[in-house]
Structure 1
Amino acid sequence: MSDENAYEAPSGAAPYKANKPFIALVLVFVTAFFAAIAAQIRSHHDDAASTIIAAQSSAAGLIAERVNANLAIAMGASAGVTDLARSGGAAPSAIANAAASARPAVAAAIVNRAGGIEAITDPAQAALVTAAMQSANAAEVWVGAPARGELATAPVIVRNVGDRAIVTVIDPARLLPELDEHARVLIASADGSILYASPAMQEAGARAQQQVLAAARAGDDGALIRDGNDRTWVAAESTAQIGDLDVMAAAPAPGALDLWLAAFLRFALVAAAPLAAMAVLYLLMRQNAQRARLAEAEAERAETHFQIAADGAKVGVLEWRPAADEVQLSERAARLLGAPRDVLGLRDLLELIVAEDRFGVEEEFRRARQSGLLDARFRVTRGGGLAWIEARGTAVEDSSGRSETRVFGTVIDATQRHEAEARVSRLEQQLRAAIDNFSGPFALWDARKRLLLWNQSFARAFGLGPDILRMRASYEAVAAAATSSIRREKNDPTNPDVRVIELTTGEWLHVVERRAGDGGLITVGVDITPLKRKEEELAKNERRLSDALSRAETQEYRIKALAREAHEERQKAEEASRAKSTFLANMSHELRTPLNAVIGFSEIMAKELFGPLANPQYKQYSSDIYDSGNHLLDLINDILDMAKIEANKLTLTPRPLDPMVAIEQAVRLTKRKAEDKGLSIVVDAEDLPEIEADHRAVKQILLNLLSNAVKFTDQGAIMVHARDNQHGLTLRVVDTGCGIPPEHLPRLARPFEQVEQELTRNNHGTGLGLALTKSLTEMHGGKLAIQSEVGRGTIVTVTLPRTFGGQRELEATAAE
């Protein structure tokens, strides 16, 4: 039995051995085939995971680019505030408010070298400001989030300017673009502190936040994670170029089993037939092409989003690659600079700048490679004018490992701000000039009562030199130094801010100190030395008056008696004057009645109206009686008019008057007397305006002047000269008579006054003509003037206003 078995064994082994190479080949082929399929499945799984992670990394990169843009804006705003701080004219609170006004900023503070906070817009951020100052460690510019352990932190920009530091606190939420409500985004500092979590991320909880943070930092591109609810997420990280901030983004992703199943199903048919393998290869090629298109589309989308972010911030962006001497500009940056294209060499960029600014800008670009900061202000020609441009940025090392330094910056149109700063500078100069020209002392102190501004009057009044009066000098030190120039001072009991100071020079100052709106102090002084001297003089006069009153008390009875006597005498004099005027008026009326009869009868007899007279001598006597009666009537009329004026009973009736009418009437009435003496009357008047006056009074003025001229002129001519002036009418009566001595001119216009000369004795009169003329002229609001020279003649000038400016009724005026 055993032999049989031994034989059969070899017979069964022969076919096995014969098929073994084929089986091995098949196994090798099948193994290789399935190994290739497995490799393709694994590759598809890895590619799918990589694609998901790359897409999420691209989203994180886009968000990080927006963070960079907003941080660049904050850096630019901080640099602008640095210029304001260097000017030295702004208060710390104003500088802090300006730093906090940029959109990403949430608060700002001014910190001195000792670490003290001089001004802060949000006191709740004081501890964060202190931590940032410790982290900055006296660096000129520091950007980051200070480590605070368990306490919350935030991005901070620290700029040291002189003996101060400007600390700007950034709101992390304002660094991000607008996000979908389901987006999961984290911003973390370099030490792992979470600065910001989106609303969806906050709902996920702290554990999920830490998972996203750890997963994003696990690899260069990101990783797939699973949360507590057994859901798969993809997390990716992108590092901001400014401030060492990390931006993490997470999004839902297929689970690992789903990825394996999708990869397996895709390649399951490959095992069925070679055609399936070709189809799989085709699908793989198509997938690779689609992946390339997706990558290209993602790159274009990222570029578009970055452009939208830059345009939304209203700034342009530039990138300078010193190694290639190439400056790449965004569309807005090219428009702001007026560049013909978006890629230029540095020399071509400098050609766009005004020649005076090119050297400084080139130095700023060269210096940025060493200092790491770009800060340039220059002018370009745009739209037929000049525009101010500010370029600020930061130099970073290329992350590709080529050790190439690139400068990223923003381009901002600062024309309006430059013009505003120029206007502010002019206003400050005008304010300084006004303060220096102020005659009294003036000083301005800050909220800590340190000296900011003063004028020369302040230094001169208190005898202070430059060793005392300097910027930031304390109020107490200045007040102590000023005491040597103060003799005494007195506070106003009703107002504690007011003091009256007497200086050692004898001058007095009224000093007022008021609080300013920012908490500062304003000191203003006014020189009241003249007032004090007047007060002293008044005090002396009061003492003299008191002495005089005390002396007068003893004579009070006598003074009262004298006053009563004077009052009685004045009443008697007034009654006598009124009696005289009344008597003259009554007598004039009584005399004119019979005198008119005498004149009328003498005229009838002279003209022989009822028949001829027997003796011609009677006719001559009648003419003499007529002339004498008219003369006496004129005298009585003058006396009556003067009496009315003195009794305040003469009434004028002003109305529109053509001066030529009055002139012609007066000349016509006096022409006969002038011709009897061989005289001629010449009228020189043209374009006379209409005036408001009493016709009878103006006519009487001219008659009196012409009558006097005819009376005292023996040969020559008489001229009536009338002209319009800017105030009214000027009338002049010029004669070539005997003239009047200068010493007699002042009394000519007084009633009953005559110049006693040989010629005047031959001309009868009462001396009332010029007195009446002057009174009538003044009642019209006019003036009378007399010029005369003995032997050559006299000029009498009467000026009347165009509108009646006198008194219509003297009686009513006197009664008032």
Structure 2
Amino acid sequence: MPVFTMLFDRRQALKGHARLLAKPAYENLLRFETLLRRLIPILIVLFLAFVALARGVELLDQRAERETQTRDALVMTTSLAAGALRRVEPGLPDDGFAMALQNALADAVPRAATAEGRLIYVLDPAGTVIATAPRSTADEGRYFAEVVGRSHPLIIFGERAGVLDVTLDNGEPAFGAAAALDGRLGAVVVVAPLAAAYAEWRGTVTLNVTIFVGTSGILLIILYGYFAQSARANQADRIYAETHERFDTALKRGRCGLIDWDLAHGRMFWSKSMFDLIGVPARDGLLSFGEANALVHPDDGDLMNLVEALYDSGETTVDRMFRMRKEDGGWVWLRARVELVGRDGPEPHLIGIAVDVTEQMRLAESSRTADIRLRDAIETINEAFVLWDADNRLVMCNTKYQQLHGIPGEALVPGRPYAEIVGAGRQPIVRMQTPAEARPEDGAKSLEAQLEDGRWLQISERRTKDGGFVSVGTDITALKRHEEKLIEGERRLMATIADLRQSRQKLESQAQEMVELAEKYSEEKNRAEAANRSKSEFLANISHELRTPLNAIIGFSEIMQSAMFGPLGSPRYAEYCRDINASGTFLLNVINDILDMARIEAGRLQLEPEEIGLDALIEESTRVTAEEAKKRGITVATEVEEPIRLVADRRAVKQMLLNILSNAVKFTPEGGRIAVRARKLRGAVSLSIEDTGIGIPREALAKLGRPFEQVQNQFTKSHSGSGLGLAITRSLAELHGGAMRIRSIEGKGTIVSIRLPERPPLAGAAHAPGAGVSLRIGASAEPCR
């Protein structure tokens, strides 16, 4: 054993020195690997870009050089053709001049002059093509501007124009040069198409592009191969890391730990999950036997005894549970499943896994405790309880079940069949089977049974998930007796219901009579409303008839009172005239009130809304009543927050103010006070008139505002009036979409408030005649506080 230990330690030392030498270089390689992987494609792209730029510059220089050569050859060809034509032109005959000129041009111009696609055009002074080389009969006889576009500068300037860009009739770009001629010839023009001029240069470009593409493709393939190899290497590293991580994760999630115990050297390898199970920081080194054995609970044996038992028994596998101490001092239950590998070899190993079974042990202990508690709970309930398994064998029951069924104790043995246990006791008489709450397919049922001693049981049976069933018997003797009493009470209730049914029939007949009375009442109401409308119309008509003679009486009494046509004689006549005038005026006011009320009730009053200033209207109304108030020593105060404007009928608002003010002056004793207040609310205007008059009794407030209603007391008896002032005021306020309220305390005073909207719904539109007005008389009257 010491020799094996020495060899193992020496081998581990050699591995450690090799790791020390190789690790720095490998780590440096890993550190620069990412940078190199990123630089290689950049360098290749830069190389390709440099090559492309260099070849591109060279090809552009070649193109420029080729253009220069083309221009020089074009100028030389033009000069050569012009010189030859100048020499031969004088000797050409007039007859057949064009043919002779064509032949002379063919002889004078060398074949190299029309190489590379160059075209020679000979023009007459008018600019018409008369000869070409190579010959083109299609162009002969055409105007040169139609054959070659943008050629006017060539014809005009000749040699001075140099080489210009022109366009052939087929749209192909070309170079053109011209020279002026004498005599019967106008000019000679030489045109070189660019396609033919750059044909050789394009071939060079194609060859260079092909070589560049091929070189780039080879480099890209090499780059792809490099990255493919690098990706496969990275993938292999990643797969290894993921596999190792998954292996550790699987062990950790499964609460397992890997154990490799080298029995020859007394060392152990633990996975990271094993260190996690016992709460010890993980480390890369191996554990000694002493370190691992010290963590085992003393009551669970020794690890060396486990190995010796394996060798003694000749077995190779072991499954054992033991506890190991955690770092925090607690204990964790482990179930080790290991196998002895290389039993007869020089280096035997004990390899396996250890599973954390602490929760299972706790659950087992909790199950034992719960079982004890369940048995105690079943024993203490008042119901008879019994549980049978899927084979109808007894699992458990309580004493109540034994007593109710009279089963001897020796028969209640767990595992005994149902038939034997039931046969040993008393059988109850089944009286009634009731429907179960559970579904029929669950095998649940409920029944009622009567025992020999007269007691009643309700037995409920339910199937369990394992195929057995549980039965609970409840003593319902008291409920059955109560049920008998309920049945008797139900009989009495049915008799009562019969009496109630007869009573309901009587009520239905009475209700029918009430319906008939209601219909008669509706008819009478319609008749009364029709009579009321007839009355209102009659009052309106008769009031007009009364006003005409009253106006004459009042007018003549005023004339007699002023002695317009001379003295009356006796002073008593003047007193009689004043009485006649006062009585006529009073009667006219009463008739006016009656007329206004009749118009309102008949729906004939038409409002004329306009924008008015309430403060000015209040001032006018108080000025009308100021003289009467001054005579009686009554103070009239006005409190208006700010200039208030609203849309309303000016005459109607003023009439409401005068009606309330005149009542306040009339019923306020001498030396009293009247306050007129106005303020602006949200979307409305509030106007209130408060006096310190005699007040109104609480029971009389409901009558105020009704037509012709007056409150009579010792003070008002001496004040005459129609009693229509407040009714007209309330009606006018409601026509504007507002309301009037009266609050009063007898002996202290009265407050009459009017609330009008700033822009009522009826503003700007008159009431249609006959539309009718609904008056809510007394609806808002309430006493002062």
Normalised-by-shorter TM-score class: 0.3 to 0.5
The alignment's TM-score, normalised by the length of structure 1, stands at 0.36
The alignment's TM-score, normalised by the length of structure 2, stands at 0.37
Q: Which has the larger radius of gyration?
A: 2
